[in-house]
């Protein structure tokens, strides 16, 4: 059996509420719902059950101390000059970078190919397509975005199920910070 996995961080409810309140101003955007808001540390993709089990075990060896994160900007991803996603940017910090590297090493230790993309910490807010309206009003409205810090106390291995109305993310294993 195949599992579509990723490793991520979930912002606490007050941060998610604030992000949800920002989600407007782009016609035909597929805005994320509360259950979808996360910061991806590593997209894994489809793996068989034995490799998923190995990954869950490898991630369990990671130790880290809790740390604070701050959402400090907004931005977008584009493909061929067309905006495809809007996001809230998370200010990089040393503990986040170290945790992401540990997650990457754990993935590679169980045979998952190295991630080819540079790590850009963000929380996706919307997915756009050619029918979507212009993104500029949203980007202008959120250009000075800065939220209160939140404390990361765990990271999570998620399973992602694709559905026409959007992906459903299910937490599989939670990995707490050291106490």
Which CATH number belongs to the domain containing residue 10 in this structure?
A: 3.90.1140.10
> What is the pLDDT confidence band of residue 166, given thresholds at 50, 70 and 90?
confident
Distance CA 104, CA 101 (A): 5
Q: Which helix (H) or strand (E) holds 54?
A: helix 49-59
Calpha distance 7→9 (Å, rounded):
7
Rounded mean pLDDT of the chain? 96
* pLDDT-above-70 percentage for the chain: 100
Domain count for the chain, please give it.
1
Cα dihedral 44→42→53→157 (10° resolution): -120
For the full predicted model, state whether its pTM sits above 0.85: yes
How does pLDDT run across 59-94, given as a tens digit for each residue? 999 999 999 999 999 999 999 888 999 999 999 999
Spatial separation of the C-alpha atoms in residues 138 and 4, rounded to whole Å: 31
| pLDDT tens track for 99-119 | 999 999 999 999 999 999 999
Q: Which range of residues forms the domain containing residue 19?
A: 2-176
């Amino acid at each position: 059996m195949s599992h579509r996995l990723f490793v991520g961080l979930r912002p606490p409810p007050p941060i998610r509420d604030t992000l949800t309140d920002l989600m407007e101003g782009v016609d035909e955007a597929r805005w994320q719902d509360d259950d979808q808001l996360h910061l991806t540390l590593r997209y894994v993709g489809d793996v068989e059950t034995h490799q998923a089990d190995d990954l869950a075990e490898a991630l369990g060896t990671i130790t880290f101390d809790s740390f604070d994160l701050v959402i400090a900007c907004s931005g977008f991803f584009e493909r061929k000059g067309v905006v495809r996603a809007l996001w809230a940017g998370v200010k990089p910090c040393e503990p986040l970078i170290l945790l992401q590297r540990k997650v990457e090493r754990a993935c590679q230790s169980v045979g998952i190919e190295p991630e080819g993309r540079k790590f850009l910490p963000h929380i996706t807010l919307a997915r756009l397509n050619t029918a979507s309206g212009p993104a500029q009003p949203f980007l202008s409205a959120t250009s000075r975005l800065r939220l209160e810090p939140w404390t990361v106390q765990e990271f999570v291995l998620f399973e992602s199920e694709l559905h026409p109305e959007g992906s459903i993310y299910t937490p599989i294993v939670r990995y707490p910070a050291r106490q």
